[in-house]
Amino acid sequence: MMAATIVRKCSLCFATARQLKSLYPMSRRLQTSSSDNEYVADIVISGGGMVGAAMACALGHEELLKHKRVILLEAAPKREFKLPEAFSNRTCTLSPATVKLLNSFGAWEEIQKMRCQPVHRMQVWDSCSNSLITFNQEEMTQELAFVAENDVILEGITRRLDAVKDKVEVWYKTKGKQYIIPGVDSSEDNSWITVHLDSGKTIKTKLLIGADGFKSAVRDASKLHVVSWDYKQAAIVATLCVSETENTVAWQRFLPTGPIAMLPLSRSISNLIWTTTPENAKYLLQVEEERFVDAVNDAFWHERDMNSVAVSVGNFLTDISKNLLQGDTSSRQLPPTVTGIQAGSRASFPLGLTHSSNYVRSRVALIGDAAHRFHPLAGQGVNLGFGDVTCLRDVLTKAVYDGSDPGSLSYLVDYETQRQRKVLPVIATIEFLQRLYNTNLTPIILLRSVGLQATNTLTFVKDRIIKEATS
């Protein structure tokens, strides 16, 4: 029985190889040819940001894919990275599922050798009422997440890419200029994709993975429908000095103009992500540093937005919960005082949503921001991108194990289904929260205060939220 299966798999492999040869007969010959500038690869990944680099690394470290030639294209030059003393203002909160992926190819160890900070507790509260929600594992000893600088994450992945350079080639300073997609640019649906590079070279590939960010040219060339809008908000980021000794709590306060968050980076350094109006963002970017620090402290501490009705109802609910239900009413902690900012660390980013209605078509798959980009208020963007990497690696491994073509739509559709089941509810929840907190109307403030307070009281609901956010 087993022998028959092996024979069937081998014959399938030979059949596939024969088909591919007839499809593209000069493939192997062209692979090493540079005279005519034409190359061949099983998989091309366009975009070597955190998500694209992780994809290349995951494929390179997968035993079953070891005979596949993978090329990663990155428009930027290769960086000579040396960990600076000053912290970068671009950071991400990494979920346990992300840590698991990074661990699977050794990048997590590299990141830890550099630096990252555990998060033991999260506190989210409303500036219009006393309602709050806290998340922490028992005794606050287990990490809910980690905060790491984007540069450090990318460097950790790059070091592990170097370990598989015989299987994965990284072409830096190389931009995909034009993508010829079968079914879009030709009527033949199953022929290979041609990637024209800005260097004048051409690559033929069975599968093109678009990891080229939210303005994805791969997505545009694939004619995939996109839903997008501008939040008409900007995110101000900065590196803050804080009066802390432990600093393992992530803080987020919802203001009517948008959420302000402070994420721990070390015992005395935190990262600021402040979503606000474009006008306020402009002011915050140019005001002198002392005033900026005052504005940040004020945003975390002021009581100007308090709504008396919501405060009374919230207090009443807390009492009921404490006395009758004996629920979790984890006490409010006070955020650390900001004492200064790292010079020159302020920057502003426009915020928007871009979602591709499909993540795949024949021979194309989108991952990371190329497929989905949304509000950073839940710190989920790159985590969902890394989730795409895990899922696509598994789907492609299965395709190869089955002796199939990795660009086959029947496998890629499986990737799309699994990921949209995960991504769409996250986007819907974030959009709901974003609108819910973007108002001063008393009935809405009341509704969200009761909701937040009730969720904080019900331990099983919180456990479910943690499970969903970290898986």
Which parts of this chain interact with ligand FAD (CB under 6 A)?
46-52, 73-76, 92-93, 175-176, 211-213, 217, 235, 237, 273, 349, 368-369, 376, 379-383, 385
In terms of C-beta density within 10 A (0-12 exposed, 13-18 middle, 19 or more buried), how is residue 291 classed?
exposed
350, β-bridge pairs: 234
Of 45 and 445, CB closest to ligand FAD: 45
The least CB distance from residue 171 to ligand FAD, in Å, is 9
Distance CA 461, CA 454 (A): 9
3-state secondary structure 218-275: HHHHCCCCEEEEEEEEEEEEEEEEECCCCCCEEEEEEECCEEEEEEECCCCEEEEEEE
Of 164 and 469, CB closest to ligand FAD: 469
Whole-number Cα distances in Å, 319 to 135, 315, 316: 20, 6, 5
Whole-number Cα distances in Å, 399 to 43, 210, 246, 405, 407: 13, 19, 47, 7, 9
Of 353 and 412, CB closest to ligand FAD: 353
Paired tokens of 267: 């015992």
**Is residue 104 a contact partner of residue 313, using CB atoms and an 8 Å limit?**
no
Q: Considering only CA atoms, which of 91, 84, 82, 87 is closest in space to residue 50?
A: 91
Detail the DSSP E strand segments found in 381-471.
none
The least CB distance from residue 194 to ligand FAD, in Å, is 15
Of 264 and 376, CB closest to ligand FAD: 376
User: For residue 336, what is the DSSP state?
Assistant: P
The least CB distance from residue 281 to ligand FAD, in Å, is 11
Of 53 and 445, CB closest to ligand FAD: 53
Paired tokens of 263: 């994420």
User: For residue 297, what is the DSSP state?
Assistant: H
**Is residue 398 a contact partner of residue 411, using CB atoms and an 8 Å limit?**
yes
Pairing type for strands 372-373 and 176-180 reads unpaired
Paired tokens of 151: 């540069």
The least CB distance from residue 350 to ligand FAD, in Å, is 8
Of 73 and 107, CB closest to ligand FAD: 73
Paired tokens of 242: 């804080």
Q: Considering only CA atoms, which of 377, 430, 426, 94 is closest in space to residue 254?
A: 377
The least CB distance from residue 117 to ligand FAD, in Å, is 12
The least CB distance from residue 274 to ligand FAD, in Å, is 9
Of 212 and 244, CB closest to ligand FAD: 212
The least CB distance from residue 47 to ligand FAD, in Å, is 3
Alpha-carbon torsion (186, 190, 196, 202), positive or negative? negative
Paired tokens of 101: 């992926």
Of 92 and 396, CB closest to ligand FAD: 92
Angle (CA) 381 384 390, round 5°: 145
Of 75 and 269, CB closest to ligand FAD: 75
The least CB distance from residue 440 to ligand FAD, in Å, is 25
**Is residue 389 a contact partner of residue 101, using CB atoms and an 8 Å limit?**
yes
Of 264 and 314, CB closest to ligand FAD: 264
The least CB distance from residue 52 to ligand FAD, in Å, is 5
The least CB distance from residue 221 to ligand FAD, in Å, is 10
Of 237 and 260, CB closest to ligand FAD: 237
The least CB distance from residue 259 to ligand FAD, in Å, is 11
What values do phi and psi take at 228, rounded to 5?
Answer: -150, 150
Of 53 and 242, CB closest to ligand FAD: 53
Distance CA 223, CA 55 (A): 23
CA 118 to chain centre: 18
The least CB distance from residue 400 to ligand FAD, in Å, is 24
**Is residue 260 a contact partner of residue 123, using CB atoms and an 8 Å limit?**
no
